[in-house]
Amino acid sequence: MRPRDVVVVDGVRTAFGRAGEKGCFWLTRADDMAVRVIRELMRRNPEVSPEMVEENVWGATTQIGDQGMTLGRTSALLAGLPESCSGFSVDRMCAGGLTAVTTAASEIAMGACDVAIAGGVEHMGRHPMGSQADPNPRFMTEKLVSEDALVMGKTAENLHDLFPEITKEMADEYAVHAQAKTAKAYAEGKIQKMIVPMTVYTKEGWIVADRDQQPRPETTMEGLATLKTPFRVQGKVTPGNSSGLNDGASAVLLMSAEKAAELGVKGGLKLTGYAYAGVRPEIMGYGPIPATKKALKNTGLSMEDIGLIELNEAFAVQAIIFMKEFGLKFPDDERLNPLGGAIAFGHPLAASGPRLVIHLLNQFAERPELRYGMTTMCVGLGQGATAIWERA
């Protein structure tokens, strides 16, 4: 049998809060964030009855506590989906949510189900990356990987070493543009419609979390120049040209193109192809480059065919290397992250991949001239993830 076409019908996310006690989700469970997103997807798409959803796939990097117990299954039950809806969890660190999306899409393509929800959630305040992990000592004693691989900021400094022409000033300039684009997108109301408000309890009482906490529209080159470089003395990586530590959840609703036609539902994006690739763990930010080359080869496309690129900006240097490799204009190519990226929104690990898809989906709805788009990201411990999408 030939694989079926798979379309993204809708996508939504929570606001992204700061990790830690000052974050809006500090006293909120991770699984409750996932449940809020699932329920909103169902509310927004009444043509899809709960009984139609056959699979619920969630990415989470730290699968313990309220992110454990096979979150895909537990969140389906908590959200009111029927017992017939199966579910499971995946972990590919930063690309866990994107892996959930491509895995669910593959199930649909192969006829294992017709309708699925796929997302990612991360409560980095409650579960910092690597929390309770126990890496095999052979990694260090046998020098299988550099110690830098376990500290993401050090991997970014290593990228600066590999590409010394990318200066700290260039990274800061990229970050200023990223913050400005996000501020403009908020001012135009483009971000708010992607966020489901969530009433949460905080130390100050009940509030409605409906806006990302991470963006800093006041960012300037002068301000960034004063920030410390915590990962290396006289380094180039700072909190200002990096993504933040965040809490949040995001998900998309997927179905076969035939099912969408049967329901009279408009699919916004069709999955054309995807690829994952590995690189040396200590330069994990290089990962999107081989993953993108592999995805383009698999689909027979070139970067010239791609009208819009949603790249997760773990670090500015990683984004600039990607731009240089594929001939994008520095510091602000019109095809790259028009609404801003993770330097402004934050990066709640597994929740970031579906956010990229949601951004792409909404921009395709506004720009009928677009045919192909891409979502791509680097992954901790040395991987890259890229998915290519076509207008459905």
Cα 109 to Cα 6: distance, rounded to the nearest angstrom: 6
For position 56, what pLDDT does the model report? 98
Confidence of residue 159 (pLDDT cuts 50, 70, 90): very high
Taking a C-beta distance cutoff of 8 angstroms, is the pair 171, 241 a contact?
yes
Rg of the Cα atoms in the chain: 20
Q: Write down the mean pLDDT value for the chain.
A: 97
The single-letter DSSP state of residue 368 is: T
Taking a C-beta distance cutoff of 8 angstroms, is the pair 247, 122 a contact?
yes
Quickly list DSSP for 7-47: EEEEEEEPPPEESSTTSTTTTS-HHHHHHHHHHHHHHH-TT
Residue 28: phi and psi, rounded to 5, are -110, 140
Tokens of residue 126, six digits:
């409650």
Q: Region 47-55: what's the mean pLDDT?
A: 98
Q: pLDDT tens digits, residue range 60-114?
A: 999 999 999 999 999 999 999 999 999 999 999 999 999 999 999 999 999 999 9
Could you give the domains of the chain? 6-126+244-391 (3.40.47.10)
Name which of 247, 211, 193, 244 is nearest 32 in CA terms.
247
Question: Bridge partners of 123?
Answer: 247
Provide the annotated active-site residues: 94, 347, 378
Using DSSP's 3-state secondary structure scheme, residue 143 falls into coil
- Check whether 374 has a pLDDT greater than 90: yes
- Check whether 131 has a pLDDT greater than 90: no
Q: pLDDT tens digits, residue range 220-248?
A: 999 999 999 999 999 999 999 999 999 99
Tokens of residue 271, six digits:
């999955």
The answer for residues whose C-beta is within 8 angstroms of residue 148's C-beta and 6 or more apart is 154, 155, 157, 158, 282
Per DSSP bridges, beta strands 246-256 and 6-13 are antiparallel
